[in-house]
Structure 1
Amino acid sequence: MRGSTAGLPEHFQGYNKSYNRILTVLDSLFSIVVVCPCVVGYWRSIWKLMEIYATPQGSELLSALISTTIGMTGHLAFCFLQKVLEHTFHPYKNRILYYLVSRLYTVCFAFTCVNGWRGPWQLLELHAKYNKFTVLVTTVVSVAALVAIRCLRNVAAPPCLIVKDVVRGYFEVMTMFRLSMGEKTSLYILDCLFSVLIVGTLVVFVWRGGWALLDIFVFPEDDVLSAWASLILGYASVAIAFILQPVMRYLCERFSGTPRLLIADFFILFALFGTINVWRGIWNLLNIYFLPENPELSCWITHWVCLIILILLGCSNSLLVRGVYIDAEEPAGKCVVFPCYYLRIIFQGEKLKQLNLTSLTIQNVKVHVRDSEKAMENNHIVSVSTISTTIKQNHKENC
């Protein structure tokens, strides 16, 4: 559930600024209203089902250890196998097989991710309990550690990002130091271990701390009122964060170095506050209102409904927490732009196809239609070919 906007053009080619603004607003609403509730519903279902099925003899400690083992070993396995999967499965080789394997990969990885969060979360909860001081200390220390290693942005989640299911980089898992298996195996293994065990665990502790503090301070005696308060506060904060993006971008463009990094981190924390509230509100309201007398059935229904919706919409990878991204690694102010690109990528792809078809009609030659999904790396936007570039490339190939 992490993303980058490095290399993304100021405006998508072929549309004026007003049209781009409309698509930007629609993408934001799509993320807030559709993607986020589905992701939360899926995570809640797996989390609760593990509580039901993976708690031998009522032992919460053993249940947490089971989830931790599944999460950590599974995540590391997907890191180590990413190149094998990438080379073995591709739509050019067998489109149907690729589609089946890639979606099965998403389902298995999503299950792994939820367990990778549930295990450390429950272990910390069993030992630290809900003491205000311990919760506050663990949260502050975790945030400080992420800031120090420039990994705070990895706390991001829907509705502040959308991850499309695209071919390029579908199986890729970015690591902290960007090493590859081919460079040096031992260093790559250490890179994966650090990315999964250290960065991943710190992110879980930050989320758990924020969630626990809300449980402590937001109407702790009334679960219903607390859930609604979180939902309203969360959506209000997220809306403000989306609105503030141009201002924060302007500030980041005017600063560099440590001041720019601090501005970006402050904005990330504000967005995180809204995100955790949204998740907590949706999660608890599902517990309260959706088949509370039969939580097992409630979880299975939300599991399949949310998963199928996300797969059909082509953004099921929004369920995953994978890869490590560095704070403010994008140029200028793009480090504070939420990677919520859905309709804009679809429309841009259609525009490029129309342009190539027009070029084919005029020149009566074969034109290669470039897929806009090549603009994605690790399921996140990295670059988008402009229409003018596409025309020039087509012309050179046809000469």
Structure 2
Amino acid sequence: MVELCGGAVMASALERPTSSRIYYAILAILDSIFSAGVAAPAVVGYWRGTWHLSDIYIYHGNPVYGSLTSIAIGFTGLFTFNLLQNFLDDYLHPDKHRLCYYFGSRLYTYVFGFCCVNAWRGAWQALDLFTEMSSSTVFATTSVSLLALAIMRAIRNIAAPPFSLSLDSCAGYFEVPTMFRANNSKDWSLYILDCAFSVGIVGTLVVFVWRGVWVLFDIYLFPGEKEQSSIGSLIIGYALVSISFLLQPVMRYTCAKLFGLPKLILADAFILLSFLATVNVWRGIWNLLDLWLIPENHEMSCWITHIGCFIFLILLNCSNSILVRGVYIDAEEDKGKCVVFPCHYLRLLFKIERAKKEARRQNLIVVTKNFSIHTEANEKECANGSLLNSVVTPMILQGNQDIP
């Protein structure tokens, strides 16, 4: 009987890690599907609507003025939000006024998102206006920009949904990492220069890389056939998305074994593969929305995706995914974490719920222990006749009981 019980305990201990791994793997797959099939299309829809509305309302018919105005709006806004991130974090802290924090943070996301789109639109159109649209010129500008990012170890900043997802959590909501991680509490002048470099240089290079790869697909993938080209991009994009997610465990294991330059090269190559997937997904969804969503009323179509997708992302608690903010360094994480896509939606929600449940359980256990101590003291006092008139109602709680 003892051997049977010991065997059952050992079997249970062996099965628990396996079931935990399977549970985590299922959540990881669901997170990938959610990010690629739900969150990413909503983010693309918001960007597409905001971009085209800027085309309509910002110096429509004058692309030069429109581009320069978008650059001014976008980069001024991004630079300001970089500078004010600590102030916003203190002033709109949820512990001070939760309702004010909620509406203030969503307004922040909306304005920041508008500035992000205009910064990209302005730089993108400026390159269209002042450089040739030939494949050689586009390839040259893209290669130079990508090389500059590689030298600065900043290639990973070209990532976007479906390979990066930001939840609207309280912690770090207003945080914007800068290139050199300057501290504004020590030296404001260095911090201002750091913000300017992060927004003006790194951000612009990222736009140039995106624009170059996008235009190259316009040139070579079914040129002149926008619908076929868009569907082709969607097929290529989601095929590469699937391959990238499937390769992630292997890449994580391999990068954990490497150090220095080999690790950096492998991580960057994997990021570039996922980037090709991202551009094709965005290009396919964007162009198909132009073709299929109320094509006879372009302005209404843009308003629908601009407002509808933003509200949808707020309801999903991941509206921060529309933002392009912060500078991240390639392969700076330990082991293989540098190739892990930050697409933790369901995993994070389940983790938070488990933490809340555990906190409630621990709190009840503490209350039970305190009650027991208090009861012992009451019994001693009753024995001395000091609390003869007190009535104590006992409460029994099991320490290992699940609390709903």
| TM norm structure 2 | 0.86
Q: Which residue number in structure 2 is paired with residue 21 of structure 1?
A: 25
Aligned equivalents of 2:193, 2:235: Cα separation in 1: 42
Offset at residue 364 of structure 1 (A)? 2.0
SS of the equivalent of 1:364 reads helix
SS of the equivalent of 2:309 reads helix
Instruction: Show the 5 A alignment for 1:37-48.
Output: 37-48=41-52
Q: Is the 8 A contact 1:175 1:192 kept in 2?
A: yes
Aligned equivalents of 2:69, 2:365: Cα separation in 1: 63
- The answer to whether structure 1 residue 247 and structure 2 residue 250 are counterparts is yes
Q: Is the 8 A contact 1:49 1:299 kept in 2?
A: yes
Q: Which residue number in structure 2 is paired with residue 205 of structure 1?
A: 208
Q: Deviations over 1:41-60 (max 9, x none)?
A: 0000010011111125x110
Aligned equivalents of 1:360, 1:84: Cα separation in 2: 34
Offset at residue 362 of structure 1 (A)? 3.1
Aligned residues: 354
Instruction: Show the 5 A alignment for 1:331-350.
Output: 331-350=334-353
Q: Deviations over 1:217-260 (max 9, x none)?
A: 00012111000000010000011000000111122112100000
Offset at residue 172 of structure 1 (A)? 1.2
Match 1:96 to one of 96, 99, 118: 99
Q: Which residue number in structure 2 is paired with residue 273 of structure 1?
A: 276
Q: Deviations over 1:340-367 (max 9, x none)?
A: 0011111111112222222233332599
Match 2:217 to one of 214, 219, 242: 214
- The answer to whether structure 1 residue 76 and structure 2 residue 79 are counterparts is yes
Q: 1:123 to 1:353 in 2, by over 3 A?
A: same
Q: Which residue number in structure 1 is paired with residue 34 of structure 2?
A: 30
Match 2:181 to one of 178, 183, 199: 178
- The answer to whether structure 1 residue 168 and structure 2 residue 198 are counterparts is no
Q: 1:20 to 1:177 in 2, by over 3 A?
A: same
Q: Deviations over 1:196-223 (max 9, x none)?
A: 0000000000000000000000001211
Q: 1:70 to 1:263 in 2, by over 3 A?
A: same
Q: Which runs of 4+ in 1 moved over 4 A?
A: none
SS of the equivalent of 2:234 reads helix
Residue type of the alignment partner of 1:323? G
Aligned equivalents of 2:255, 2:143: Cα separation in 1: 24
Offset at residue 318 of structure 1 (A)? 0.1
- The answer to whether structure 1 residue 357 and structure 2 residue 375 are counterparts is no
SS of the equivalent of 1:129 reads coil
Aligned equivalents of 1:123, 1:358: Cα separation in 2: 58
User: Percent of counterpart pairs with the same letter?
Assistant: 54
Aligned equivalents of 2:362, 2:202: Cα separation in 1: 48
Offset at residue 304 of structure 1 (A)? 1.2
Aligned equivalents of 1:95, 1:289: Cα separation in 2: 41
- The answer to whether structure 1 residue 146 and structure 2 residue 149 are counterparts is yes
Q: Deviations over 1:141-188 (max 9, x none)?
A: 111110100000000000001100011111111100111211111111
- The answer to whether structure 1 residue 229 and structure 2 residue 229 are counterparts is no
Residue type of the alignment partner of 1:255? L
Residue type of the alignment partner of 1:315? C
Please list every run of 5 or more consecutive structure 1 residues that lacks an aligned counterpart in the other structure: 1-12, 368-399
Aligned equivalents of 1:168, 1:360: Cα separation in 2: 23
Residue type of the alignment partner of 1:39? V
Larger RCO (CA under 8 A, 6+ residues apart): 1
Aligned equivalents of 1:72, 1:357: Cα separation in 2: 46
Residue type of the alignment partner of 2:49? S
Please list every run of 5 or more consecutive structure 2 residues that lacks an aligned counterpart in the other structure: 1-16, 371-404
Residue type of the alignment partner of 1:288? L
Aligned equivalents of 1:91, 1:14: Cα separation in 2: 39
Q: Is the 8 A contact 1:241 1:270 kept in 2?
A: yes
Q: 1:254 to 1:303 in 2, by over 3 A?
A: same
Residue type of the alignment partner of 1:114? V
When structure 1 is superposed on structure 2, of 243-252 and 257-266 the one drifting more is 243-252
Bigger Rg, structure 1 or 2: 2
Match 2:59 to one of 42, 55, 58: 55
Q: Is the 8 A contact 1:219 1:225 kept in 2?
A: yes
Q: Is the 8 A contact 1:360 1:366 kept in 2?
A: no
Q: Is the 8 A contact 1:14 1:351 kept in 2?
A: no
Aligned equivalents of 1:225, 1:310: Cα separation in 2: 29
Q: Which residue number in structure 1 is paired with residue 400 of structure 2?
A: none
Q: 1:231 to 1:50 in 2, by over 3 A?
A: same
- The answer to whether structure 1 residue 289 and structure 2 residue 292 are counterparts is yes
When structure 1 is superposed on structure 2, of 15-24 and 264-273 the one drifting more is 15-24
Aligned equivalents of 1:99, 1:16: Cα separation in 2: 34
